[in-house]
Amino acid sequence: MRHLATKRAGHDDSGVVGAEVLPFIVLVFIGGTLVFAQAAAVLDAKIAAVAGAREAARTFVEHRGPRSGDTTDAAVAAGMRAMSGYRLSGEASIQPVGTARLRRCERVTFEGTREVPSLALLGGRWSPVTVSARASEIVDPFRHGLRGQAPCAQ
């Protein structure tokens, strides 16, 4: 008895990728590239936020101004300059965490935040990603020009 389905001589379909699979492969490649680009942008923004927060904290504890307000302004300006050096798009800010007082042995913390615009794919409305970083320093207990005793150096 013969099989109803017989192969034609010389015609073999094994191992052939159909044309319907090619658009799917292209979409996966493009989607993966966009996800990789977004992850790289977030990483760059995180590095910029770390640099800005670290520079702000360092400037605060090394500033020669006698008043905390002037020192805070100088620290924020230095942190913003450090972040702007990365030339990234999106909003950025540097703020002290808590009260920033210029006293011996006082721990001062600054936070840098950076917004990363999200990719708009096919007209979708995705919210931007915000990254942040904190850095803290201690005011030198033996710093010249500050009043009071150094409780952490005793």
Residues 91 and 6 sit within 8 Å (Cβ to Cβ):
no
Return the residue matching tokens 């302004």.
73
Compute the chain's Rg from CA coordinates.
29
pLDDT by residue (tens digit) across 51-97? Answer: 999 999 999 988 876 676 788 999 999 999 999 988 888 889 999 99
Contacts 24+ apart (CB under 8 A), 144-147: 145/64, 145/66, 146/102, 146/103, 146/104
pLDDT for position 36 = 87
Q: What is the mean pLDDT of residues 118-140?
A: 78
pLDDT by residue (tens digit) across 3-61? Answer: 555 555 566 655 556 777 888 888 888 888 888 888 888 899 999 999 999 999 999 98
pLDDT for position 54 = 96
Q: Is the pLDDT of residue 130 over 70?
A: yes
pLDDT by residue (tens digit) across 105-122? Answer: 889 999 999 998 877 554
Top-confidence range, 67-71, 99-103, 150-154: 99-103
Structure token pair of residue 102? 């210029």
Helix spans in the chain (H): 21-62, 68-84
Nearest to 45, CA basis, from 115, 107, 148: 115
The residue type of 78 is: A
β 92-97/129-138 pair status: unpaired
Bigger pLDDT: 12 vs 133: 133
Bigger pLDDT: 137 vs 70: 137
Contacts 24+ apart (CB under 8 A), 129-132: 129/38, 129/42, 129/45, 131/42, 131/45, 131/46, 131/49, 132/49
Return the residue matching tokens 């500033």.
63
**Cα distance between residue 6 and residue 11, in whole Å:** 11
